Amino acid sequence: MLSLVLMSFLRAWRVGPSVALVLACVGVRAQSPAVAGSWPEDYLPALKPILQTALRQSLTIVAKEIEIAQREAQAVAIHAQRLPNFGGRMDYASNTTAISGNTTTQTRDNGLFYNVGLNQSVFHWGAITNEIARARIGVLIAQKNHADAYRALAVNLRQQYLGLVAKKASLLFARYALQLVKADLERMEDKLKNGAAAEGDVFGRKLYVDDRSLDLARSEAEFVGSRRAFGRLAGIGDLAEAAIPTEIPAPVYSAPAAGVLVAVLLRDGAKSTFQAEVSALNIRNADLSYRIARVRLLPMFNASAAYTLLNTTNASPVAVTQTGVTQQSVGLNAVWTIFDGFAARGAKLAALADKRLAERQLQAVTEATLDQAQNLERLLALDAQAMQMSEQRRGLAEGVVRRAQEEFKLGNVPQSSIDEATANLRLSESNNALARATFLSRWSEFVSLAGDDPVLNNLPLRYAREKR
């Protein structure tokens, strides 16, 4: 772990020494024992590699990585103001000089002429330092946005994956129910051939089969579209139906664990979320902008050095003389804007307004996060209750199937009784899968918002979420 922290420190130092120590001390800590093993990917292991692949291949995350690269490039360009600027000019020329009206005084020279200069910023009242710090903050904001986008993507993928599992369970029930009604139609058609049924009975059952077939075809098409949308969002292509589990293991709900997460978030004031950290960085960014604008009307000092080789020409009524001259200069200059039409004043007012806006945004983000977490906690309790009720209904349906099978063996009931009981069991299993998926979807959203999302362990250490 120490080696990882040191590597993080070295990477962060490239961004800037002023934030390197902070980032090096920010690590991805282990999950709380109260929530470890409670994530959808823990119950459905096939989801875990999909979340890892999404970090590399999802278009959403790739776009955020490009944004980081852009901010880093801007930081390099802004940091160049602190480094010396070295350049020059070179000319190879043939020059002819003469006194007007006296061609006998004409002279020509050929040669190489050049100028080499060095410029270095010396003292700008901290403006350059603050501009570099703003560029580093821009990189940090891009990294925070990248991490938060991945966290939100993971929550979305979990919810969609759970929805696919529940949808598949619903399709299994619909397919089985269609088989039953088709079998019933066949039996009624046989009765019609034997004269034991009316045509209206057959026609009504045929219409019912057609309705159920159409509903199933529509559900199948929606399922295919949902799978493709999920694969496109995760960056894995189309997801085959066979790769989707048919059942979700029973989740375990701990109300005390949820209460602890909310209590920690309340104690922290929701300041450790990515959005809150970005708002805090925006406040710091606005403060640096004000410091830069405050010194715009002060003299800026620069140092320069130059070496020049040129040709000088002196003309007299009788002759023209040309001499190669070298010049060396070293100096200190000051650039002072005394009045800029109140542009500096406007920049200071804009920076102060930006700071006030960022402070209000931080307040709004933290309050919204706290409200969302508390609301999710309340809904989780209801989801857990609904899941428990669906478990009970499933248990009752299983008991009905067992009794029907026993009565069938005794000859007390026909096969249709077992089929009907089995259909009710399939329906209860479908509803149970939906209840479990709903609970796990909300649970992952709640814990990801209020605690430690394990997908963040896939991120580089420098993108970690700060903990207080």
Look at the pTM and tell me if it is higher than 0.85.
no
- Write down the pLDDT at residue 179: 92
Distances in Å between the Cα of 278 and the Cα atoms of 266, 288, 365, 466 are: 19, 15, 10, 11
Q: Where are the domains of the chain?
A: 1-30, 34-83+114-312+325-463
What is the spatial distance between Cα 303 and Cα 121, in angstroms, rounded to a whole number? 6
Torsion of CA 263, 264, 268, 269, to 10 degrees: -40
313 token code pair: 């020409």
Summary mean pLDDT of the chain: 86
pLDDT of residue 32: 61
How far does CA 130 lie from the centroid of its chain?
Answer: 28
CA distance 193 to 203: 14
pLDDT at 36: 82
Per-residue confidence of the chain (468 residues) as pLDDT tens digits?
333 333 333 343 343 433 333 333 333 334 565 688 889 999 999 999 999 999 999 999 999 999 999 999 999 999 999 899 999 988 887 777 777 766 666 677 777 888 999 999 999 999 999 999 999 999 999 999 999 999 999 999 999 999 999 999 999 999 999 999 999 888 888 888 888 878 888 888 899 999 999 999 999 999 999 999 999 999 998 899 999 998 999 999 989 999 999 999 999 899 989 999 999 999 999 999 999 999 999 999 999 999 998 777 776 666 767 677 888 999 999 989 998 899 999 999 999 999 999 999 999 999 999 999 999 999 999 999 999 999 999 999 999 999 999 998 988 888 888 989 999 999 999 999 999 999 999 999 999 998 778 898 888 765 555 544
CATH of segment(s) 34-83+114-312+325-463? 1.20.1600.10
Q: Hey, what amino acid is at 146?
A: H
How far is it, in rounded angstroms, from Cα 121 to Cα 33? 54
Rounded Cα distance, 34 and 37, in Å:
9
The confidence score (pLDDT) of residue 464 equals: 53
Residue 23's pLDDT is: 35
Helix, strand or coil for residue 128? Answer: helix
pLDDT of residue 8: 39
CA distance 438 to 7: 40
CA-closest candidate to residue 244, choices 171, 183, 350, 304 = 171
Confidence (pLDDT) at 396: 95
Nearest to 184 by CA among 159, 204, 166: 204
Q: Are 386 and 421 in contact (CB under 8 A)?
A: no
Model confidence pLDDT, tens digit, residues 98-156: 777 666 666 777 778 889 999 999 999 999 999 999 999 999 999 999 999 999 999 99
288 DSSP assignment? H
Count of helix runs (H) and strand runs (E) in the chain: 11, 4
Are 153 and 61 contacting, i.e. CB atoms less than 8 angstroms apart?
Answer: yes
Element (H, E) at 227: helix 199-234
> Which residue is listed with tokens 């920076």?
351
